[in-house]
Structure 1
Amino acid sequence: MVLLFDELPNEIILEIFDLLNTSDLIRSFYKLNNRIDKLISETTINLINIDLTNFSKYQFNYCCEQIVSTNYNQVRSLTLSNICTFGQILVFTSMYDIGQFSNLQSITLIEPEVRQYLVIIQKSPKITYLSVTLNEVDEIEEKDVGTIILSNPLPPLLKTLKLFYNGQISIGKLGTHFNLQYLTIIADCYFTDLFHIFDCFPCINYLEIELIGIQSDIDTYLFTINSSTMPEHLQTLKINNLSVNFRAIELLLMRLNQLKELSYRSIASENNNDAHTDSNRWQSILSSYPLLEKFHMDIIIEDNSLDICELSSSFQTQYWLYHRWTIICESSVNNSNVYHLYTIPYSNSIFSTSSENLQSTSVLDVSNAYDTINYLNLNLTSHWPFITRKYLNVHTLELVNTSTNLLSSSSVISYLNKTIIFSNLKHLIIQND
């Protein structure tokens, strides 16, 4: 006998509700019918993690008025967003004094206004985790984003801070914060600001950062590196180098000999290619790390003078084989002056490739080489490879048609069927170049 969900007895429905967190419960069942709404109000809801993103206005109001309002002390983690529910953060802070959430330990804010951020942080002294995502700010505030987030008195117990900003930030001299151990800044930061970060957070253990700079300003960089104090506790460093001269990066890395994990990404400029892909210089850097356990490289370069065989063989010496760091070097058959050099297993979640045949040094004997990839950008051409790779965990697929010819749908589907698992897909983006 098959029963509809609405035909189940109240006791069973309440047991199901007990297995769900607040966000999933409200999104899935609120406004289904009056009976279910009443049961939601009667259930003992797990309020440890409150995530109000992707809520409709009605769902947001219900959750705040009927659930959160009487359970301040249960909330440990709070996520608010101005994207899906316009003005959500302002409404929430108008309804509640954040200081009433006495056990709050984690806050995630998506697209807050700067003044909203300041109000929330000033009233959250016990949090140990803070994540802030900003895409747009007022013109007056833009240059001060880094200073506002990092230099305003941070909660004294804060251990993890993540800042995501679609633009350039400047970080001046900051006050010292001894408790912060994990810092992620996905925004355009000047190379020299890195040393303000080191001064401000002397106990930092993990740093992920994007760096920009002026290629000709190498003398300034060298002076700053040699005169600065390096963080003694830094064990994990992840750099996305957008425009800093590799010589400066090299000298910086040589002074951080306590690292256990290093990740380096870059799209190399034309006048700096040789440095980025010089295996001997990389060997010198890595040899200065007696504790190093993990190394990841992801470099894209454009150079007509490089030879793929010579480049790849330089990373296949006894040193690289001994440490089991497998470096893949590949280029497109039809665009052979652009090279992609990376370690496997691949370390990032986003990967761009082409459907055409690749010149590659890969033997792909690593079974999980591309398991980390969940966003695949695939340029479709009129050429199909003889051997296809498997990207088993892709949930977002972006197809870009770069062919001047009309592509056969059956050919595309046949290729994709060998490349990804369709049942894992959640998002599909199709573009014509």
Structure 2
Amino acid sequence: MKTTGRALGYLASGIPAGMMGLLWTMAASLAVGLLALTHLGGPVFLGVAWVTRRLATAERRRAGWVLGQPIASPYIPVAADTIRRRVAEVAGQPATWRDVLWLVVLFPIGLAGGLAGMMIAAVDLGTIAAPAWAWAVPNPHAPFPMKPLLTTTPGRFGLTLIGLALLPLTVWLLRTLARAQTTAARALLAPGLHTHLAQENARLAQTRARVVDAQAAELRRIERDLHDGAQARIVAAGMTLALAARKLRTGATAEPDVELARRQLDEALAELRRLVRGIHPPILTDRGLYAALAALAADSPLRVELRGDPQARYSPAVESAAYFVVAEGLTNAGKHAEAATCVIELTQTVTTIVVTLTDDGRGGADPSGAGLDGLRRRVEALDGTLTITSPPGGPTVMRAEFPCAS
């Protein structure tokens, strides 16, 4: 009955809302039309648009009584610095004019729906309550069959039974009327194609900026690792060999120095291999994502179960991003979550490739942490999504979704 009550409230409130919307639209149109050719035209238009948007926002919230949640806002932020440009941006948004259109059509729609809804509810409730009021308004001249229903006690209770029998129909009619009106509201007040395209453009611009930042950070990391790791060891090996050459010229033994230089070069080679694996593990290219994850699982101190198709191959970009998502997840599970077991699952649908990593650790992972944020940038660069669920006490579930077209 709560849903029915909301539907009736929505229909009844549509009458004053429609009258207010119509009066405001007429007054605003007159004000803007008269002042359009003056210097006050721009500020007045912006003020009218501001009020109109507030009224439309109230309508979106009112529709939420029936829909369960308010209709999303369709407006694009205005960043212009002058009145002329702000007017152009606001007037260029289709949502501005769709708000005006809804406030105009709300009057007939709200009036018709409100009157119909209140009449349907009043008739049925009045019929159910007939024993409480019919005795006070007897009508001996009423036509058959209303006369026995209104003038006799059995007839009045018979009206109650009729009202109860019609209650499901009344509920259905009220909800149908409310849904029809909110459908019209959503068609005009919900974000349209223009808003979706603008939001997608803004999202892509933000993602592109994040990818550029992540790439720059990755290059700085590689440069730092080369400078502090392999390069330092190679320089040390060169100095050791130079010392060995000086000893050989004086006739001293240089075998310990040559052995030390060899160890330094081996360490530099191992450092370079580690660095290459951090950029793009060769096993990904040679054997694919499943084999690379199997190698990660074998090296992990956790008990790892890997599920998926060993023969499946994906685009190189997806395989690389998925590999590092799992690598970071396994590291966090063992280092921070104190997990003992972990499950890695690879699945593919018609439109997406999903990599899910679940551990039995203590949970409480911060999705906005630096390491996870870097992984999110990798995934978003491929137009994918990374979601992390980690309630205190666990388990932690890391889910990366990639579109198949990536």
Asked if TM exceeds 0.5, the reply is no
Larger RCO, structures 1/2 (Cα 8 Å, 6+ apart): 2
TM-score band by shorter chain is under 0.3
TM-score of the pair, normalised by structure 2:
0.21
Between structure 1 and structure 2, the one with the greater Rg is 2
TM-score of the pair, normalised by structure 1:
0.20
More helix by share: 2
